[in-house]
Chains A and B, each alone.
Chain A
Amino acid sequence: MSVLVIDNGAYELKIGYATDDKNPAHFRVSNSITRSKDRRTYVGNEIENCRDYAGLTYRRPHERGQLVNWETQKAIWDNQFYGKTSKLVGMNGGKPVDPSETSLILTEMPYSLPALSSNMDQIVFEEYGFDSYYRCTPGSLVPWNDIRELYNDTSSRSSPVSECALVIDSGFSSTHVLPVVLGEVYWPAAKRINIGGKHLTNYLKETVSFRYYNMMEETFLMNVIKERVCFVSLKYQLDLEEAHINKRKSLLRIDYALPDYRTSKLGHIVKGATSSNDSNQVLTLTNERFTIPEALFRPSDLNLDQAGIPETAINCVKLMPEEIQSMLLSNVVLVGGNAVLPGYKERIREELQSFSPQGVNLRVGMPVDPISYAWQGGCRLGSQKDMLSKAYVTKADYMEHGVNLCLSRFGIKKMDNSIAMD
């Protein structure tokens, strides 16, 4: 019986079989069906074969992080499970996924609507017919990794799961702060900020369209530019003034040569002085580089009445039982796509330090690959069959007891303080 782990993110799904390897093989697949200007459709990663990225239209199964459109999601999964171009199938010697011989670990957004969760259970068992299934949030998989490695802590771990972790998961649709105790999310303290990578891309798109070129149709390109150019500023006011005063010569200025779709597909950053023989249109970005990601730390910039990531994290910690508050602050883990932004970790550490009580040993850790870290945790869980068998629901049980079994087994558990303090 093999164990398939899917971290079903709104932007990319992370998929692979659970193994004992140090670096288990997994694939990141764009979770979308894309249509190009020449009216061709591309499912998932097939978009890499597209020659012209201009004016792509996306259909995504998720809406604000919630999986609403199963028609699209099923097409993407089928492509991964059975498709000829699927790397997952290729890795397994050309053998497609056989759900009846496979256990599934699947993630969904923290506090997904119950109606959508039970849709998911039904599709997993009734459409695909997986043998057994465990549904959870990406955050709760994180502590299955050995998070001590992130802090260069060499003390050995006694339990298979890290006892305490404050997971800050900044994804595509929203950012979640989840205190995870013994592999379970403590729900009364969990918090969601409605800002994610999608909003940053859209904000950059709008800003650039207002100031320079109309980019409203070029979501794909703006996302690439955001990933290559944006960073989180550690001294925001100073950088802002620097960008304003020294507009032409500022070190913060970057020229980005836009793609012409003949010689380049994605464009590139212009190194050194702008060469005159470069015929591409050039987009010059200065304060856009750091004012856009600043929205993660000050959502009020986007008229969102919520606190930024560090303040929400501290709010969340204060809602926890006092005994474990300092433990959580010494085990902060940053995951999700936005964590890749340069300066993100340092900024969060700096702000958390100023918020946290004196004498707390604040440790902020970021894995090498924050995007797939939750998947890797799922892989660790999946390779420990005895742990997994306690958690999952088998198809026989599902057929016997129905959807309610999954809802009660994987649902929001109310953990009282006595358990949390063990």
Chain B
Amino acid sequence: MSSASESPSLIEQADFSTVPKPFKSESWKQSNKRYKNLKALVTDEQKRLASLPPSDDKATYFSIEAPPSLRPQKHWCDITGLPGRYKSARHGLRFYNVEIFKAIDEMAPGADQQYLSLRNANVILR
């Protein structure tokens, strides 16, 4: 213990950090995160709004989203893209005619869900 305080140990001699570095700016600091992306900001905003007392009449970033259309939706065949006037009761897939229906009927289990997921209509039960 006493010998170490008299002469600097090897590790102290090898230490760079005390050597003066005149080329380095004193004020420079590295920042690892430059800016928050929108996803983080939107989450922050949701938290902030949740902490406020509820009120109906205040416009927010979220409330000015346009509502969905009231017009009847157009239906298209999930397999061919032609007008889909019919819907398979078992699978929920829309189809153009009998020929397509046969193809749907013979589908491997799970394939119908993949078709539905193309238009975000698949139901996932958890």
Chain A interface (Cβ < 8 Å from any Cβ of B): 63-64, 66, 68-71, 110-111, 113-116, 177, 187-188, 190-194, 298, 300, 303, 305-308, 311-312, 315, 412, 414
Supplied contacts A110-B64, A111-B61, 19 more A-B pairs, CB within 8 Å: A63-B37, A68-B35, A68-B37, A69-B35, A70-B35, A111-B59, A113-B45, A115-B41, A115-B44, A115-B45, A188-B57, A303-B119, A305-B68, A306-B67, A307-B67, A307-B68, A307-B70, A311-B70, A412-B59
B positions within 8 Å CB-CB of A: 34-38, 41-42, 44-45, 48, 57-61, 64-71, 73-74, 119-120
Q: Is there an interface contact between B68 and A71, defined as CB atoms closer than 8 Å?
A: no
Rounded to whole angstroms, the CA-CA distance of A414 and B38 in the bound complex is 26
Q: Is the CB of B38 within 8 A of A114?
A: no
The residue in chain A whose Cβ has the minimal distance to the Cβ of B57 is A188
Q: Name the contact of B36 in the complex, choosing from A68, A311, A414 (C-beta under 8 A).
A: A68
| Chain A residue at minimal CB-CB distance from B118 | A303
Indicate if the CB atoms of A188 and B59 lie closer than 8 Å: yes
Q: Which residues of A contact B70 (CB under 8 A)?
A: 307, 311
Q: How far is the CA of A353 from the CA of B56 in the complex (A)?
A: 31
Cross-chain contact B58 with A414 (CB below 8 angstroms): yes
Say yes or no: A113-B61 contact (C-beta < 8 A), given A64-B38, A68-B38, A311-B71. Answer: yes
Distance A74 CA – B67 CA, assembled complex (angstroms): 35
- Which B-chain residue is minimally distant from A187 (CB atoms)? B59
Given contacts A71-B34, A188-B57, contact A307 B64 (CB under 8 A): no
Contacts of A300 in B (CB 8 A): 68-69, 73-74
Complex formed: what's the CA distance from A70 to B73 in Å? 42
Q: In the bound complex, how far is the Cα of B42 from the Cα of A390, in angstroms?
A: 32
Measured CB to CB, the closest approach of chain A to B56, in angstroms, equals 9
- Find out whether the CB atom of A307 lies under 8 angstroms from the CB atom of B58: no
Shortest distance in angstroms between A315's beta carbon and chain B's nearest beta carbon? 6
- Minimum CB–CB distance from A388 to chain B (whole Å) comes to 25
Point out the residue from A66, A191, A307, A315 that lies within 8 Å of B41, measured CB to CB.
Answer: A66
In the bound complex, CA of A194 to CA of B42 (Å): 15
Q: Which residue of A lies closest to B68 (CB)?
A: A305
Distance in angstroms from B64 CB to nearest chain A CB is 5
Shortest CB-to-CB span from A119 to chain B, Å, is: 9
B38 and A303 form a contact (CB under 8 A): no
Query: Is the CB–CB distance between A190 and B59 below 8 Å?
Result: yes
The 10 closest A-B pairs by CB, nearest first: A307-B69, A187-B59, A63-B38, A312-B66, A191-B66, A306-B66, A193-B66, A305-B68, A192-B64, A190-B64
14 A–B contacts, CB within 8 A, in A order: A68-B38, A69-B34, A71-B35, A111-B60, A113-B41, A115-B41, A188-B57, A190-B64, A300-B73, A300-B74, A306-B65, A306-B69, A307-B68, A311-B71
Q: How far is the CA of A305 from the CA of B41 in the complex (A)?
A: 23
- Considering the chains assembled together, what is the distance between the CA atoms of A110 and B61 in angstroms? 9
Query: B41 contacts A68, CB within 8 Å?
Result: yes
Enumerate chain A residues within 8 angstroms of B69, measured Cβ to Cβ. 298, 300, 306-308, 311
> Which chain B residues border A111 with CB–CB below 8 Å?
59-61, 64
Residues of B within 8 A of A113 (CB): 41-42, 45, 61
CA distance A305 to B48 in the complex (A): 26
Decide: A303 and B120 in contact? CB cutoff 8 A. yes
Who on chain B is nearest to A116 by CB?
B41
Cross-chain contact of A194 among B41, B65, B74 (Cβ < 8 A): B65
